[in-house]
Amino acid sequence: MSTSAPAPARRRLGLLVIATAQFMVIMDTSIIGVALPKMQADLGFSPEGLSWVFNAYVVAFGGLLLLGGRLSDLFGARRLFALGWAVLLGGSVLAGAAGNATWELTGRAVQGAGAALIAPAALTLLMMLFGSEPEELTKALALYGAAAPAGGTAGVFLGGVLTEYLSWPWVFYLNVPIAIAVLAITPSVMPAGGQRRGSVDLVGAVTVTAGLALAVYGIVRAPDAGWLAAETVLAVGAALVLLAAFVAIQARRRDPLVRLGIFRAPDLAAANTAQLLLGAAWIPMWFFLNLYLQQVLGYTAFPSGAALLPMTIVIMIGMIALAPRLIGRFGPKALTVTGLVLLAVGMAGLAFVRPDGTFWVDVLPASIVAAAGMSLAFIPSLGTALSAARPEEGGLASGIVNTSYQVGSALGLAAIAALAAVNGADALGDPVTLTSGYSAAFAGAAIVALAGAVLAAATLRKAPKPASEPAEAGV
């Protein structure tokens, strides 16, 4: 199949498939939330082990994204996109059919590995389809970005519906018909993508994934084991050693998983830092807002999912209608910084939630401000990170920016959860103490977002090229 741009109708269908991919890989992080208590009862998870139903997916996803980007460059984006869906399908069947905790976590890790192949290939395909038309590229990135919060909200709602009216395995089986449909349509709507010679750095992939997994494990366990306990120190210390070894391996290899020189591209490191801190702030806020709605305000699955719809609507309007226009007028740096500041303000507002609060007073106003900030910061930082790379390294750039966001999400959630636990977030049945813990979580997320704004203001160039301009950023 030719790698030239397909007909407009086919290209729009391709964008829909790419947006569906983004929707699904994010939905799979959120759809399990409501199902966790029943999974714990059926599969015998310990309270500590239960968190790994989420972490197994996110760590495999974040840890293997760089490998996914590299494979996309070597073997073609369309081929890796399809392979990722096949792996996700297999992991979903395994997770749904699991009869014990071990197989459940294995299935979730396989799902995460599939998502790690899908995500960078999807972004590479998007750049191939729209990279030659700056205005269309910005619109396509906006729809791609809006699919993420839509997937997160849909996951919460669908998880409640499926768990209540069917059974918890259906939160995984839902992926099967969608994956089959995507696999059927991909060959006819996606460009094949260029292939190039090179080797696959499996040692680097294993090292970085193990390092990230140990870092998340150490931070998650710290509130129970103690921050200075041998278990915590060994886990975090080993993580730092492995991550340092990964950098050393990349520096020595002739054909590395990550060419370290790519970070010399103007704004690439700065934009990825913004994405990392955006994920580290947004995901914990979303996680603990769900808990506040259900465990303090007493919402069940249906109203809890509905309570997140205003945020989703604001994000989708902001990403699709506002961000593309504002990028052209003010530039990506100004919009990234402004968005992160608004996100921090919204989260600071949520830090004042009350045990006897209401959705209309304690949640809605601040969550709308936070959602507006997310919608303004995500698109320009994503576009800047993608546009900074050389054309032949589009898959790598996609893998790096996805890794930044997912690693930020995993480590941010682990750290903020530890902060919340210390302040009472584990006191189930005590709304006052729970609220204290959740308030600390929102305050911590606000500090992370504010740090992101300060770093973006200091490190992004004052007059970078708008993310929509560089046609050569595609693969």
Q: Is 266 inside any structural domain?
A: yes
* Enclosing H/E stretch for 290: helix 268-291
Look at residue 194 in the predicted model and tell me its pLDDT.
60
Six token digits for residue 182: 């995507």
Mean pLDDT within 125-147:
79
For residue 189, pLDDT beyond 60: yes
Q: How many domains does the chain have?
A: 3
For residue 442, pLDDT beyond 80: yes
The amino acid at residue 379 is: I
Same domain, 270 and 214: no
Task: Report the alpha-carbon distance of residue 253 to residue 324 in Å, rounded.
Answer: 39
Q: Is 128 inside any structural domain?
A: yes
Same domain, 374 and 434: yes
Q: Place 473 in a pLDDT band, splitting at 50, 70 and 90.
A: very low
* Max CA pair span of the chain: 62
Task: Report the alpha-carbon distance of residue 212 to residue 19 in Å, rounded.
Answer: 27
CA angle at residue 205 from 285 to 384, to 5 degrees?
55
Residue whose tokens read 């073997």: 75
Look at residue 465 in the predicted model and tell me its pLDDT.
45
For residue 88, pLDDT beyond 80: yes
Q: Is 186 inside any structural domain?
A: yes
Q: Is 385 inside any structural domain?
A: yes
Which of residues 138, 156, 191 is at a domain's end? 191
Same domain, 132 and 153: yes
309 Cβ neighbours under 8 A, 6+ residues apart: 153
| Digit-coded pLDDT (tens) for 278-304 | 989 988 887 788 778 888 998 876 677
Look at residue 196 in the predicted model and tell me its pLDDT.
63
Same domain, 240 and 374: no
Q: What is the Cβ-side half-sphere exposure of residue 418, based on CA atoms within 13 angstroms? A: 18
Same domain, 163 and 270: no
The amino acid at residue 371 is: A
Of the chain, the percentage scoring pLDDT greater than 90 comes to 29
Same domain, 116 and 70: yes
Across 260-275, b (16+ Cβ under 10 Å) vs e yields eebeebebbbbbbbbb
Which of residues 140, 168, 191 is at a domain's end? 191
Same domain, 182 and 209: no
Q: What is the Cβ-side half-sphere exposure of residue 69, based on CA atoms within 13 angstroms? A: 30
Of the chain, the percentage scoring pLDDT greater than 70 comes to 89
Cβ-in-10-Å burial (0-12, 13-18, 19+) of 155 comes to buried
Q: Is 85 inside any structural domain?
A: yes
Same domain, 2 and 62: yes
Q: What is the DSSP string of 78-108?
A: HHHHHHHHHHHHHHHHHHHH--SHHHHHHHH
Instruction: Say if CB 220 and CB 212 are below 8 A apart.
Output: no
**Radius of gyration for the alpha carbons in the chain, expressed in angstroms and rounded:** 21
Task: Report the alpha-carbon distance of residue 284 to residue 287 in Å, rounded.
Answer: 5
Q: Is 473 inside any structural domain?
A: no
DSSP code for 460 = S
Same domain, 151 and 205: no
DSSP code for 295 = I
pTM greater than 0.85:
no
Q: Is 134 inside any structural domain?
A: yes
Write the CATH number for 302. Answer: 1.20.1250.20
- Indicate the SS3 state at residue 250: helix
Q: Place 253 in a pLDDT band, splitting at 50, 70 and 90.
A: confident
The answer to which of 26-40, 64-78, 246-260, 383-397 has the lowest mean pLDDT is: 383-397
Mean pLDDT within 373-400:
78
Same domain, 99 and 172: yes
Q: Is 288 inside any structural domain?
A: yes
Closest CA to 262 of 390, 454, 404, 448: 390
For residue 90, pLDDT beyond 70: yes
Which of residues 210, 231, 256 is at a domain's end? 256
Mean pLDDT within 69-84:
86
Q: Place 467 in a pLDDT band, splitting at 50, 70 and 90.
A: very low
Same domain, 410 and 282: yes
Look at residue 471 in the predicted model and tell me its pLDDT.
31
Range of the domain at 223: 201-256
Instruction: Report which of residues 35 and 358 the model is more confident about.
Output: 358
Outline where DSSP puts E strands in 189-292: none
Same domain, 223 and 371: no
